[in-house]
Structures are given as structure tokens and as C-alpha cells.
Amino acid sequence: MSLQDEFPPRGEKEIEDSQRFIIELLGVIFISILTWAIFRLATKDIFGSVNSISFNIAYILVAPIVFLGPAMYYWLKHRKEEGLPVRLFVNDSPQASLTEQAVETFTGRMVKYVLLIGILLTIVNYLLNLTSYWWTLNSGIYGETETYFTWMENIDSIPAYIILVFTYIAIVATVEEFFFRGFIQDQFTRVIETWQSILISAAIFSMTHIPIAIFIYEIEGLWLLPALIDWFGFGLAAGYVYHITRNIWVVVAWHGIWNVTVSTIGISGRVLVSDTPSPGLETFVWTLESVMVNALMLLCIYIARDYLAEFGRFEKIASTPESIEVKL
């Protein structure tokens, strides 16, 4: 399924030197990642946990500037392009040629189907993680264990949870998907193959999470590997969904709903009869678990690709009114 010609990325200016264009994009990415890493390092002892009010407010204020600021500056000042570098709709501006009734219909379908796809992808992803986690924990490497659910375990208060939900959906998902899928993936697609741009955006997406993994979650050593695989896997899956639907709001909805879900409903395990494995074996098992979950998620998306394309692009909405009545 090739979408490059059907729905090309944003950008009217001709790319005269593809290698220079790639270097420029990498420069924008490097500035954003470096700034983000410095910010996380400088504030690791200032703000609270990842679920605290102070942490989320800091993200709301800083993340849009760090990620979208350099991209917009490059787009408007250096490339001298017009408008946004992100395709907001499949056909850019579907409202332009529609009647008022068609616009209302389109908007209603968009909200309904975007949320539906986001919820369904979250359910499938969560069930895969739940099943894999349970199987790994009860595989015998830890001895006798017990698995249980937690509810808002690390959230201090209802106001903190409300801010967290707003941050994850309105800021985290929107900013990150606009940057990684809407800008990076699409712009790389202008000069390289789509599958290569998906891999690149997923790799950059996972690397951007290294500062928060080290400074906030305090993940150390080999345990960074399964975490990076999870972030890379989500980046691949989100990139592929965006490639199928060409609708940035679909991946924004999925990203936001997924973040809220895993922050609300946790899965934990308790060892009843200890039989601790070696660190190397433990890391290998959980790394294999991460690979398996992400591979299965990509397989599910591939199987459902035709449905995702149909509902994600709202293809059944006519682009022009069927008839026009003119009165003189």
C-alpha cells in the first residue's frame, strides 16, 4: 500500500538537494533532543514524579517549545514554506468545498471514528501487554507469583489526575505525534522510502525518551533495552497507522488514550515463593516479551489495515455537494 503519491506530505518548495535536506532535518531533530535532555537533567530534582502536578505543568509549558519551536522555525524561516508542516486532515482542508451540513457530518464522523480507533487500538495493545506480562511472570523464572491490577497507584489526588489526563491527551500526544509523525516521518518521506521514514521516526521517538527513562524513571543498565524496544515498537505502530490512515488525529487519539490508560490501570506482580533468576536471564526474558508484544501489535494493525484506512480517512464523505441550486 503506497500512499506517497495519493496523499503527499506537506511542502510546496522543491527539494533541490535531498542529502542536504536530510542533514537539515537531522539538525532540527538534534536541537530538539539535546534541549529536551538538558531540560530533563536540569529539572530532575525540581519537579515531582511523572504523575505529579508540577511535572505535568512543566511539560505543558516546555514541550511545545522544545519540539515544535525548532520545526516551525526551520519550516517558515529556512524553508520559507507557508502554513503548518503537519497535514491536519487527509485531504488538507476538507471543509473548503463542503456544504455546512457536510462539514457537520465530517466533523461528527471524525471525532467518532478517531476516538473509536484510538480506544480499540488501546484495548488490543493493553490486552497483548496484559497477557504477555502474566505469561512472563508465571513462566517459572521467579518461582510462585501472583498478578494483580492497580488503580491510579502513583497519583496523589483527583486534581493531579485531571491535569495528567489533559496533559497526556492535549499536549503529550498532540506535540509528539505532530513532531514525530506529522513532521519527521512525512518530511523524510519526501526524499526516502516510506518504510525508511517510519523506521527513522520510530528510532528518534525512542531515543527522545532516554532522558526521561534515566532521569525520571531511573532505569539503569540493560533494563533500558526492553524500555527502548517498547518505545520503538510504539513508534513503529503509530507510524504505520499514520501511513495507513494519513490522519494525524488517529495517532494523537491512540497515543493520548494509551498514556492515560497505562497511567490509570497498572499491572503488578508479587513473588510468593522466591526463585530469583540471574540478571542476564531476567533481562533477556523481558526483552523478548517486549519484542513479542510489539510484533503482535504490528501484526494486528496489518490485519486491520483496510478498516483503519476506511474509517481513518472518512472516505465515504463526499468531497463536493451532490447538487447545487442557483437562484437568480
pLDDT at 5: 53
Question: pLDDT tens digits for 172-228?
Answer: 999 999 999 999 999 999 999 999 999 999 999 999 998 888 887 788 888 899 999
pLDDT at 322: 42
For residue 141, being part of any structural domain is answered with: yes
pLDDT band at residue 18 under the 50/70/90 scheme: very high
For residue 4, being part of any structural domain is answered with: no
pLDDT band at residue 40 under the 50/70/90 scheme: confident
Question: pLDDT tens digits for 48-87?
Answer: 778 888 889 999 999 999 999 999 999 999 999 988 999 8
Would you say residue 89 has pLDDT above 50? yes
Q: State the Cα–Cα distance between residues 113 and 315, nearest whole angstrom.
A: 12
DSSP per-residue string spanning 188-253:
HHTTS-HHHHHHHHHHHHHHHTHHHHHHTS---GGGHHHHHHHHHHHHHHHHHHHHHH--HHHHHH
For residue 326, being part of any structural domain is answered with: no
The whole-number average pLDDT for the span 2-14 is 74
Domain that holds residue 132: 18-313
Residue 240 near residue 120 (C-beta atoms within 8 A): no
pLDDT at 317: 46
Question: pLDDT tens digits for 97-132?
Answer: 445 555 555 567 778 889 999 999 999 999 999 999
Structural domain count of the chain? 1
For residue 321, being part of any structural domain is answered with: no
Would you say residue 328 has pLDDT above 70? no
For residue 262, being part of any structural domain is answered with: yes
pLDDT at 91: 62
The whole-number average pLDDT for the span 131-158 is 84
